[in-house]
A and B are shown apart, each in its own frame.
Chain A
Amino acid sequence: MTQTTETPMVELKGVKKRFGDLEVLKGIDLRVDRGRIISIIGPSGSGKSTLLRSVNNLEVIDEGQILLDGVQVNRPDLKGLAFEKHINHIRQNMGMVFQHFNLFPHLSTLENVTLAPRKLKGVSTSIARELGMELLERVGLADKAQVYPSALSGGQKQRVAIARALAMQPKVMLFDEATSALDPELVEEVNRVMKGLAEEHMTMLIVTHEMAFARDVSDWAMFMDGGVVVEANTPEHLFSHPDQERTQHFLRKHLGTQG
């Protein structure tokens, strides 16, 4: 990836994370420039989800630095409420989409989208409503605004979850296996929404099992295994002629089953 002098949107420097004795991230460096889309692939247990979750501090890293638009996310120097305030503010600039959607079941689709802007940014109900409808329109679910999540399909739930994350107008979107829990026929509708975001130059970090999608949508692809980045390259290169044996082996296994 060409390095620019511009402040990267997301930057990881020597990130390490342990769960007990198990080191799941063994010193990760990563730079995501504005408007770039990075896919992270790898076998389960490779640390790719932990890496993504570390970016917005859902996992607390043990060593290293994470920066969002030049501002340090992890702040070992801040304790208690001071850190809480810091991280809440940082998180408002990052949208996260989860494998299991995690929509709020007690709120309607529209309320799911408008809750954060209303309560965290003090946006008025009517303006939040307008914004919410706009976002639901964008993910093709304006007609479901008043419906509760229990009445939505998996694909629809995930599209609402994307709209909910976008409602805070984040600088970067993090996708943690956004389509892994979906029936195959529902994957496409979510991918379409993500492609739409890519076309609008949203900065995105995507952890995925969808090799074809990763190849298609991203500017840069990373293969992780055993807590390290084994190989990172343009998707054309990484998916067509990977340099590393482990990457070749992984892709053979995956592309063999997925086309």
Chain B
Amino acid sequence: MDFNLMIEIAPLLVQAAWVTVDISARALFFGFFIASALVVLRTSRIRPVRWLSRAYISVVRGTPYFVQLLLIFYGGPAIGLRLDPFTCGVVVGAFNIGAYMSEAIRGAIESVDSGQNEASRSLGFGRLTTLQYIILPQAAGLMIRSVGVLAIILVKNSSLVSIISVVELTYQAQRLIGSTYKPLEVFTLSALMYIVIIYAVMGIVEFLYRRATRYTFL
């Protein structure tokens, strides 16, 4: 192992790692809104809306992320959808993770005991206020860990946007190998950086989980 080389290229990889974090964080942020919208649309009174949102989730879950990325980036311009690589990575990441996250959120909401809903309604709370004050605060604790797992998948999947030449961690690593011919050193270092990012995500998730469920520990 050429440790000197690793120290030398570290700053370049750290810079690229930041792009990985940036693209993943944005995708997660927008993905959360997409997921929330899907949860609402799936319970819509209008049948085609329900049907469309379910179809969307099925398509996203039934196709590889890699293919979705290629389709939007290379196929998009044919229908007037021209996105720069970074934006494309965020958009596809958000729509992809949003579909999975909507299932996680729905599952969490459904697993809150039905007695909670009844107790709240019997006090005079409406459907929405029950969701706001009673169901969601409890569902939050139940969904945080599964959303955390999705966030980790998102970070790992972000390596695939290298194919549309976003200069994130994996793309940068490949570039450095082109100039140094040291794949072992470069990939080891980039793998370590993924580990750091993912452990940071896990730490944040655990912190949020404890906060959201602290009432069960007190």
Query: Is the interface on chain A under 10, 10 to 19, 20 to 34, or 35 or more residues?
Result: 20 to 34
Residues in B with CB closer than 8 Å to A84 are 126-127
B123–A164 touching, CB < 8 Å: yes
A105–B215 touching, CB < 8 Å: yes
Of B122, B124, B215, which one neighbours A106 at CB under 8 angstroms? B215
- B interface size (C-beta, 8 A): 22
In the complex, B119 has a CB within 8 A of chain A: yes
A91–B122 touching, CB < 8 Å: yes
Q: A91-B123, A92-B124 are in contact. Are A100 and B134 (CB under 8 A)?
A: no
Q: A98-B118, A98-B119, A102-B119 are in contact. Are A88 and B126 (CB under 8 A)?
A: yes
In the complex, A120 has a CB within 8 A of chain B: yes
In the complex, A74 has a CB within 8 A of chain B: no
In the complex, B115 has a CB within 8 A of chain A: yes
CA distance A103 to B123 in the complex (A): 12
Residue of B nearest to A57 (CB): B121
Given contacts A56-B122, A98-B115, list 4 more A-B pairs with CB under 8 A. Answer: A85-B126, A108-B215, A116-B123, A147-B218
28 A-B residue pairings within 8 Å (CB atoms): A85-B126, A88-B124, A88-B125, A88-B126, A89-B124, A91-B122, A91-B124, A92-B123, A94-B122, A95-B122, A96-B119, A98-B115, A100-B115, A102-B116, A102-B119, A104-B116, A104-B119, A104-B134, A104-B138, A106-B138, A106-B215, A107-B215, A116-B125, A119-B133, A150-B218, A161-B119, A164-B123, A165-B123
Q: Which residues of A contact B (CB under 8 A)?
A: 56, 58, 84-85, 88-89, 91-92, 94-96, 98, 100, 102-108, 115-116, 119-120, 147-151, 161, 164-165, 168
